[in-house]
Amino acid sequence: MLFKKDFMLGAATAAHQVEGNNVGSDYWIMENLEHSVFVEKSGLAVDHYNRYEEDIDLLKRAGLNAYRFSIEWARIEPLEGQWNEKEMEHYIKVIDYCLANGIEPVVTYHHFSSPAWLITKGGWESPEVVNYFERYARYVTEHVAGKVKYVCTINEANMRLQMAFLIKDITERMSKQSEIQNQEGSVQVGVNLSQNQSQMMMSMMETAKAFNIDDPRKVANFVSQASEEGDLLVMKAHNAARNAIKSVDPSIQVGLTLSLHDIQCVDGGEENAKKAWDDEFTHYLPYIEKDDFLGVQCYTRKIFDENGANSSLETGTKTQMGYEDYPAGIVNVVRRCAEEFKGTIIVTENGIATSDDERRCEFIKEALTGLNDCITEGIKLKGYFAWSLLDNFEWQKGFSMTFGLISVDRNTMERTPKKSLKVLGSFMEK
């Protein structure tokens, strides 16, 4: 079973997780607080900023034909309204290197991290974020027009709402520390819930002070809980960015990506499962119906009973992230999305955090076999991007979560391709 050459088969990264020294971002500030919730600092990360040619070469040699990466807003606009042409030129070089090597660049304009100044101004709960993001998207597009065919405006645009549900659940469980930590696996992003209540409060206070915000509850970075208005603001920012991109270059295919679980239920859990899918996906449909594609990102499933999500019903082993190893999830989610979203679908992330690369190889095989069936069924699936090209900085959890197809010795920055990189490439028609 091989994918045809017009299918994008590749791997993905995010700027803050791989580049290093992203000093203008909100994440850099939060990592370096005295009572930071991050288990370690990103620092030099895996130095992809300086080693992108080597990493793209490894991707190409494996037989892959596409690379999804993000442009770091904090590098492009380090201060409000001040553009850094040198940094923009860096990303143009990355795009040009992809093109020169027959690699399709799929570019994400925002992948969780934001400029620090944006958070000081109210972040993703301020109506002004729509204008700020539109201006940034227009600026970047003016520089990449004619080179890039696919743009993801915002990565996992529903993550802020998922965080709101997580925080609400944590608040109800505050008296039971072990149960709080068990909730880390309920979201598909690296969060650290191992701190006690006192440490969490210290971190919140320091974070608010760092961004010059009086109320710690008002710090609105992208991976923080959203109000209903904040959830809508993300959609408005996406729509404004899409329109700006199209006004500069109508040929660019534009979409966003969503963090989705394979929502399942047992008898009695039907209503809870229906609400969960509406929260994660259905209520966004009016805002993405004009998009050219939908980026689908799924790593696991959730099973609902009459009381809500019940992880005890899961039968698979747990990954390093704390959720179930379930490669069928991405296949089920693509099928379900295709029932309601009529544009093209791209799997913009899918993978497994494990130290066992043989298991990663099997995960890839199972996922891609199922996705090939989706294409045979007539689903408009255009591409698959494994998360991630490189072992990297998994946000609050640091470098211990190994998603990569390539390992990195962070002392020497030496790259070592894993067998799974070759296995992924073997699915592409030669």
Q: Give the catalytic positions in this structure.
A: 156
356 contact partners, CB below 8 Å, separation of at least 6: none
* Three-point CA angle 143, 149, 150, nearest 5°: 100
Q: Of 60, 44, 81, 38, give the one whose Cα is nearest residue 200.
A: 38
Packed helices 85-100 and 48-61: angle between N→C axes, nearest 10 degrees: 10
Q: How far is CA 368 from CA 9, 78, 117, 306, 329, in A?
A: 10, 40, 41, 33, 12
Calculate the CA dihedral of residues 86, 90, 96, 102 and round it to 10 degrees: -170
DSSP letter (8 states) at residue 283: G
Q: What is the DSSP string of 34-76?
A: TT-SSSS--TTTT-HHHHHHHHHHHHHHTT--EEEEE--HHHH
> Structure tokens of 398?
């640091």
Tell me how crowded residue 127 is: count the other CB atoms within 10 A of its CB: 12
Packed helices 357-376 and 328-340: angle between N→C axes, nearest 10 degrees: 30
